[in-house]
Amino acid sequence: MNEPLKNLLEAARKIPQTERDLELQRRSFAYGNTHFENELITREMVDKIAEQMAAKKQK
């Protein structure tokens, strides 16, 4: 790995992630893993389920 890339990675490690950042990362992970197994899965489906789960959690 070259030095500029190492420096960028180190700087990125110091930036705190927001709750929104974490949620977007979770959804991307879920989409990537499910779409890999089933090409019929869409990002919209993942978003819909995530919103439903968040609504249930708030009750």
Instruction: Report the distance separating Cα 37 and Cα 45, nearest Å.
Output: 14
Residue type, 4: P
Q: Is the pLDDT of residue 55 over 90?
A: yes
φ/ψ of residue 26, rounded to 5:
-60, -45
pLDDT in tens, 5-42: 999 999 999 999 999 999 999 999 999 999 999 999 99
Helix, strand and coil content of the chain, in percent to the nearest 5, comes to 80, 0, 20
Instruction: Report the distance separating Cα 55 and Cα 48, nearest Å.
Output: 11
Instruction: Report the distance separating Cα 20 and Cα 42, nearest Å.
Output: 20
Give the global pTM: 0.74
- In this prediction, residue 58 has a pLDDT band, given cuts at 50, 70 and 90, of confident
